[in-house]
Chains A and B, each alone.
Chain A
Amino acid sequence: EDKVVQSPLSLVVHEGDTVTLNCSYEVTNFRSLLWYKQEKKAPTFLFMLTSSGIEKKSGRLSSILDKKELFSILNITATQTGDSAVYLCAVEASYSVHGANNLFFGTGTRLTVIP
């Protein structure tokens, strides 16, 4: 059965701390792994990773994928209160006869950054 597991489920840190969020997966026909940030409303896209060992970076956020060990991490350095959100990991897999990929989401990590 395809699954995506995120850890920890929740995390509380102080401003300025560095955090690492984890995502492991068991998916056949893997295409890519994606990270989303969900504040009170809709998830917003952060990163898409397809190759092992290549870090994607955007400001204080960075992510890397290990396709051998089937996991990804999302790092946030110098955290700010605005980073408080649920971070979702999703894995894209090719199953559909129409060419669309299925997207399997983890349940998310809730990050709270205290001033």
Chain B
Amino acid sequence: AQTVTQSQPEMSVQEAETVTLSCTYDTSESDYYLFWYKQPPSRQMILVIRQEAYKQQNATENRFSVNFQKAAKSFSLKISDSQLGDAAMYFCAYRSGETVYQLIWGAGTKLIIKP
């Protein structure tokens, strides 16, 4: 079975600085997708970024980018120029491309932005 691990329960960063959130996963599949979701205090679940396992190029969305290391099964999220609005819980999620399509979630990392 696939698992997702986020080892940082909480991270803090100064506004305008860069922070990296860690995520590792375990799978025997070769076809899969990885996501980062953001959950602010409103508890709305917002998709931040997506990475296809077959793509070597790291995904980027404005200030958000990932470092996808397939062999190491690592999928970290880098947030550049952190803003107060980035404060939220960040969840890493795995989705199979071969079998079932439910999202498998990490435990989440609470990101605190210091003004």
**Do the two chains belong together in a single complex?**
no
